[in-house]
Structure 1
Amino acid sequence: MAGKTDLAATLTLDDINRAAKVLDGAVVRTPCDRSFTLSHDLGLEIWLKFENLQFTSSYKERGALVRLSALSASERKRGVIAMSAGNHAQGVSYHAGRLGIPATIVMPEGTPAVKAENTKRWGATVILEGKTLEDAARFAHAYGEERGLVFVHPFDDPLVIAGQGTVALEMLDAVPDLDTLIVPVGGGGLIAGMAVAAKALKPGIEVIGVEAALYPSMYNLVKGTALPVRGDTLAEGIAVAEPGTIAAGIIERLVDDIVLVSETDLERATFALLMIEKTVVEGAGAAGLAAVMADRSRWRGRKAGLVLTGGNIDPRLLASVLTRELAREGRLSRLTIDIPDRPGELSRVSAVLGQAGANIVEVYHQRVFTDLPARGTELNLVIETRDRSHLEAVLAQLEAKGYRVVVKTGQAGG
C-alpha cells in the first residue's frame, strides 16, 4: 500500500478491495436499506447505510481492524495506543482484544461515559487526559513513544482510510445506481476512503461531506475560510479541530462539496431517525440526514446514500434531544398562568385542560419570585398536546375562561 507522504494521490480502489478482504467475516456487512418514509417526506430517494449496527455501533471498526492486522509480531507483542472521543477507541479495543494485542486508549476528559465504559469492556486500558481531542492526541503520542507502543490514528493513516472506504464498496454493491453519497466529516478518514472507492467505481457520482457548523475545520481547509471552530456540539464524534492532512488531500481532489449543519438540524435528524426508522444514532451519525432536511431543494430528485456512522449516544443526551424536538413540534409546552391564590383554582385550570384534551406533565406554583399581588400566584405547567394546532386550541380555551397565559415552546430555529 502507498506510503503516507503520497497517499492522497496514490490510494486506489485496489487498496480498498484489499482492506475489504481483511474485514470479510470480522465486521458486520451492515444493511443499506431504502427509507420509504423519509424519501416520501423529503422529495428524494434515501438509502441508509446502518453502520450503527456494527458490533461496537460504529464504522470505526473497519479502519481499526485493517491497521491492527498489518502489525508485525513484535508490534503486536508491544501493543498499541490510540486517542479517540469514543468510536475509534471502541473499535481498537474490541479488535485488539480479539487479536490478543494490548491496547491503551487516551480519551478527552469530557468523553461520554457510555463510550469510555464500552472501551474498557474489551480489555483496553483507558486514560482520560486533555480537554480536547488534540490534547489527548499529544499525550497519547508522548505516552506511546515512551513505552514503544504503535500509534493507531483515528483518521489520518493510509490503512485506516482504506478500511473506512469499504463502506462505499458495500453501498454501491447494494445500490449500484446511487448518484450521491452524503457523508459525515470529522477528521476526514471516512469520506476520503469512500470518495476513492466511489469515484473509481462510478466517476459521475457526487460525494458530499457534512460537518457540524461548530466544527467547520475541513470546510475551512478546503474552502479557504476561517470560520470559528469551537463549542459543545451534539456531533462530538466529528468535533475535530485539526483534520487529517492525508484525508484533506484526497478530499480536495475527489469530494464535490462540504456543507455545514446547525445543532437544531442535528437534533431534528436524530429525532427523525428514531421516530421513523426506529434506529438510534449519535449526532455525528445523523449529520447526513440533517443536511438533507436543512436544504431539501438541493437534493430533490436525487438517489442518495447516507451513512449512519454510529449509534453511541449517551442516554441522557438522547432524552434531551427527544424532549427538545417534542417542544419544537408543539407537543410539549410550558405555560405560565396568573391565577388567584384560593382553593379550587388549580382544579378549574385542570378541568379546562382536560376538556381540551391536553395532558399535564408537570405543575408547580410560584408565590415568592413574582410581580403578582400577594393574593395571586403564578401557576407553571408543562403540558402535552398532539401538535402545534392542538396547542393553539388549548390556549384559546384557557383564554376564553379568562386566564392570561404565557407559553414557551421550542421555536423553529431554536
Structure 2
Amino acid sequence: MSPVPSEPVALSCTACNRKACTNRSPPSPSPTPPPVQPVTFEDVSTAMYRIRDGIVRTPCLRSHFLSELCQADIYLKQEFTQFTGSFKERGARNALMKLTAEEKRRGVIAASAGNHALALAWHGRQMGIPVTVCMPVLAPMTKVSKCKVFGANVVQHGMHIIEAKDHAQSAPEFEGMKYINGYDHPDIIAGAGTMGMEILEQVPNVEVVVVPVGGAGLIAGIALAVKTLRPDVKVIGVEPEFCPSYTAALEAITTPTLADGLAVPMVGHNAFAVAKNLVDSVHLVTERCVALAVLRLVEMEKYVVEGGGCAGLAALLPGGSLDIASLKGKKIVVPLCGGNIDVPVLGRVIDRGLAADSRLVRFITPVSDRPGGIATLARIISDSGGSIRDIYHERAWLHTHMDQVQIKCVVEVTGKDHQQLLHDNLESAGFSLIWGKASSNSVDAW
C-alpha cells in the first residue's frame, strides 16, 4: 500500500461524481475541508443492531463458475438484492434513524443521481421523514420516477452532481433541512460497515475482501469492521482507471500539485481518514474488464449488476489488475454493490463485453456490386458458423472500381479460434480484409 498522509486529502471534480468520469473540467480551488468526524467500530456495531429490521441481510454465496475461472473460492455478496437495488440502504437507514425528533420533522436533503437518492426516499417513506433529493437534469428518468413514487420531493437542478449538490446546500428553500452526504457522512460510513460484519458471519474463514471504490465510504466502513474483528483479512479496493479518486488522494502526498491537475470525483475526507490506514491496496480496473464482469455475471450467475457495482469482480477476472497467482485458492468475498443499470446501457455494456471476449468481430471488405456479391460473403460467414449481427454497404465515398461496394460487417463468433477460422475462410475465398479495430489514422475505415 502506498504511504498515506497524516491528514486526509480531498479531491474535487467540477464535472460529476460518477465512477466512470468522462465529463471532466478543470477543478475549482477546494475550500479547506471541515474537521474529520471520526467513525469507530462501536458506530458500526451499533448500526448493525439499529438497522437490522429495515434492510435485507443479503446472501453471500460461493460461485462455482467464477471460482473455476479465477482459480479461487469466490463468494458474491448480493447487495443488489436490497429493495432499492444497492448497498446504499444501509447507510441511509442508519443516518435517518439517528436524526433528532426536530430533524425528522424538518426533513433531510441530499444530492444524488441515483442509488443514494433511492435509498433515502424509500427509507424516509417507511419512517415518515420528508426527503428532498436534488438530482441533475440528466439523471436517469427511471431513477427520478422511482424517487417520486417513493414520495420524495425531487428537484432537478444542474447538469451534473456538483451543481445539484451546491444547490441543495445553498438554496434558501432548503434551509433547516439536514444534508446527508451519500458517501462521507459518518452515519453513512457506519451503515456501510455493517456489510463487513455480515461478510465475516457468512464466510467466517474469508481471507480477502475486494471492494469497489467511489467516494470511499463503503470501503472505509467495510475495512473498519473487518480489520477490527479479523486484522489478518486483506481488504483490497478497486476503482475505475477513468476516475482514480482514491489512488490520486494517496499519491497527492508525494506530488503536491497533483490535486490541482486532476479533475476527479471527491474522496470523502471522513471516509479517507478511516480507510487510509486500513485498506491494504487499491487497484485500477479498465472499462474492458468491467464490461466483461457484467457479461460474466449475466451468463454465469444470471445476475444483472451495474458496472460500478461489479468492479471488484472485474479486477479478479483473468486479465484484470489483481495478481491472480497470489490469490490462487484463497477465499475471496466480492460485494456486488448495485443492480440499478438502465436497460439500454446494459445492452451496450454486454456488447462491449462480447467484443472484449472476442465473441464479436468487425471487418471491412470490398465485394462485387453485381447480383450475388453480398450473398457470397454471407454464405462463407454462415458456412464458417458465424452469425451476422450488423452489415452496411458503402457506395458513394469510395475510390475503388465502380463495380465494387465496400461492406462493413459485425459478426458473432464463439471466441478467438472461431475468429481466426472465419478470417482464414474469407481470405481463402479471395476477400481483401480490414480486420478488427481500425487504425486511429483511418477515420473513414469505420
TM-score (norm 2): 0.84
CA distance in 1, matches of 2:135, 2:438: 33
Higher RCO (CA-CA < 8 Å; seq separation 6+): 2
Moved more, 101-110 or 277-286: 101-110
Q: Does 1:285 align with 2:346?
A: no
Corresponding position of 1:105: 133
CA distance in 2, matches of 1:147, 1:346: 67
TM superposition shift of 1:146: 4.3
Question: Counterpart of 2:400 in 1: which secondary structure?
Answer: coil
CA distance in 2, matches of 1:95, 1:15: 20
Q: Does 1:270 align with 2:298?
A: no
Q: Which residue, out of 242, 259, 263, partners 2:266?
A: 242
CA distance in 2, matches of 1:21, 1:212: 33
Corresponding position of 1:324: 352
Question: Counterpart of 1:365 in 2: which secondary structure?
Answer: strand
Amino acid at match of 1:387: G
CA distance in 1, matches of 2:342, 2:205: 36
Q: Which residue, out of 166, 179, 182, partners 1:151?
A: 179
TM superposition shift of 1:334: 2.2
409 and 114 in structure 1: CA distance in 2 versus 1, 3 angstrom threshold: farther
Residues 159-174 of structure 1: pairs in structure 2 closer than 5 A: 159-174=187-202
Corresponding position of 1:311: 339
Contact 1:144–1:151 (8 Å) recurs in 2 = no
372 and 410 in structure 1: CA distance in 2 versus 1, 3 angstrom threshold: closer
Question: Counterpart of 1:255 in 2: which secondary structure?
Answer: coil
Question: Counterpart of 2:206 in 1: which secondary structure?
Answer: coil
Residues 398-413 of structure 1: pairs in structure 2 closer than 5 A: 398-408=426-436
Contact 1:229–1:241 (8 Å) recurs in 2 = no
TM superposition shift of 1:298: 4.1
Q: Deviations over 1:348-391 (max 9, x none)?
A: 22222222222222323211111211121112222222222112
Corresponding position of 1:254: 278
Contact 2:109–2:179 (8 Å) recurs in 1 = yes
More helix by share: 1
Amino acid at match of 2:299: M
Q: Which runs of 5+ in 1 are unaligned?
A: 231-239
Contact 2:208–2:235 (8 Å) recurs in 1 = yes
RMSD: 2.1
Corresponding position of 1:57: 85
Percent of aligned positions that are identical? 37
TM superposition shift of 1:397: 1.7
Contact 2:367–2:406 (8 Å) recurs in 1 = yes
Amino acid at match of 1:321: V
CA distance in 2, matches of 1:381, 1:160: 49
Q: Deviations over 1:253-311 (max 9, x none)?
A: 21112211122222121222222121111111111112222132343332211111111
Question: Counterpart of 1:362 in 2: which secondary structure?
Answer: strand
360 and 216 in structure 1: CA distance in 2 versus 1, 3 angstrom threshold: closer
Amino acid at match of 1:177: N
CA distance in 1, matches of 2:438, 2:76: 28
Moved more, 184-193 or 86-95: 184-193
Question: Counterpart of 1:253 in 2: which secondary structure?
Answer: coil
Corresponding position of 2:402: 374
Contact 2:288–2:356 (8 Å) recurs in 1 = no
Q: Does 1:70 align with 2:98?
A: yes
Q: Does 1:36 align with 2:64?
A: yes
CA distance in 1, matches of 2:378, 2:53: 59
Question: Counterpart of 2:265 in 1: which secondary structure?
Answer: coil
Contact 1:113–1:314 (8 Å) recurs in 2 = no
CA distance in 2, matches of 1:104, 1:300: 47
Amino acid at match of 2:349: V
TM-score (norm 1): 0.90
Q: Aligned pairs, how many? A: 397
Residues 14-33 of structure 1: pairs in structure 2 closer than 5 A: 14-33=42-61
